[in-house]
């Protein structure tokens, strides 16, 4: 079973827990409010006054915990990524490589869909705030290493330079990120959303493409459903 949570609900649950100390509860209330504002209207439009109003706390209380809206945003995104890495699905050696890849792709898709606004903020701010770029790189490197471990468990890859494998996996991950962004995020592409179909179909097609790119072969047809017709693709033979 894939572990996926809504990060805002996760923070709210910690806020409401009786075991949470009062100073920690106050910081969590500020974070819950900030997550909502990061999702809408977004980081650049968000103000400290709005965070305080939404959390029901005074501005002086905010500055007891954070010195700027950037500081609280970094704390949130860092914790968000840390939680994701802890919840990533473990490799199951009893499954075919394609099935393990599909677990990873499916988990990434579900986590993105459950936290679309926050994931969008992470991707966008990575382009302009160096500290966020570092958080994003930590997340992508973790996923690359996780996927590489899955591939190496079933295939002989030691002779392939690790940098080449990581670069390939990075490109594949970027394909998934951009697809999820286009299908799920604000200003999404309606036509792409339509042709992508159900989340299950999208995950299967992406998993098939990842498998072909990393394993240089087609997977067993019985492991596919909606994407099985792609296995029939063949280059036209040149006339003799």
- Indicate if the pLDDT at residue 226 is higher than 70: yes
d(CA 26, CA 92): 40
Q: What is the pLDDT of residues 82-126, one digit of tens each?
A: 999 999 888 888 889 999 999 999 999 999 999 999 999 999 999
With bands split at pLDDT 50, 70 and 90, how would you rate the model's confidence at 238?
Answer: low
Residue whose entry in the numeric block shows the structure tokens 């990842």: 210
Q: Any idea where the domains of the chain sit in the sequence?
A: 7-73, 90-228
> b or e along 215-240 (b: 16 or more beta carbons within 10 Å of the residue's beta carbon)?
beeebeeebbeebeeeeeeeeeeeee
- Residue bearing tokens 């103000």: 47
Which tokens in the block code for residue 130? 């160096």
Q: Give yes or no for residue 49 having a pLDDT over 90.
A: yes
Residue 221 has pLDDT above 60, yes or no: yes
Higher-pLDDT residue of 238 and 203 is 203
Answer yes or no: are the C-beta atoms of 46 and 34 closer than 8 Å. Answer: yes
Percent of the chain whose pLDDT exceeds 70? 93
Does residue 161 carry a pLDDT above 90?
no
Mean pLDDT, rounded, for 163-179: 86
146: nearest Cα among 103, 203, 176: 103
Classified by CATH at the fold level, domain 7-73 comes out as: Arc Repressor Mutant, subunit A (1.10.10)
Q: Using alpha carbons, list the distances in angstroms from residue 25 to 11, 57, 64, 65.
A: 10, 12, 13, 11
pLDDT at position 7 is: 95
* pLDDT for residue 205 is more than 90: yes
Q: Which of 128-142, 190-204, 223-237 has the highest mean pLDDT?
A: 128-142
First to last CA, the chain: 52
pLDDT the model gives residue 157: 65
Angle 130-152/97-114 helices, nearest 10 degrees?
A: 160
């Amino acid at each position: 079973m894939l572990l996926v949570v809504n990060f805002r609900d996760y923070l709210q649950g910690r806020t409401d827990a009786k075991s949470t100390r009062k100073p920690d509860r106050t910081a969590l209330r500020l974070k819950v409010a900030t997550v909502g504002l990061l999702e809408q209207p977004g980081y650049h439009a968000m103000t400290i006054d709005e965070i305080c109003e939404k959390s029901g706390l005074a501005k002086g209380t905010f500055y007891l915990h954070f010195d700027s809206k950037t500081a609280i945003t970094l704390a949130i995104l860092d914790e968000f990524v840390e939680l994701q890495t802890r919840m990533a699905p473990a490799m199951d050696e009893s499954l075919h490589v394609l099935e393990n890849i599909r677990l990873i792709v499916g988990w990434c898709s579900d986590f993105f869909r459950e936290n679309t606004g926050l994931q969008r903020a992470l991707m966008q701010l990575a382009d302009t705030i160096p500290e966020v770029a570092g958080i994003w790189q930590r997340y992508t490197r973790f996923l690359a290493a996780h996927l590489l471990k899955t591939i190496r468990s079933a295939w002989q890859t030691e002779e392939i330079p690790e940098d080449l494998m990581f670069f390939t996996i990075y490109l594949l991950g970027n394909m998934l990120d951009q697809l999820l962004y286009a299908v799920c995020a604000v200003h999404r592409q309606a036509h792409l959303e339509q042709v992508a179909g159900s989340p299950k179909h999208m995950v299967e097609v992406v998993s098939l493409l990842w498998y072909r790119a990393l394993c240089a072969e087609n997977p067993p047809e019985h492991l596919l459903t909606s994407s099985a017709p792609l296995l029939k693709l063949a280059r036209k033979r040149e006339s003799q």
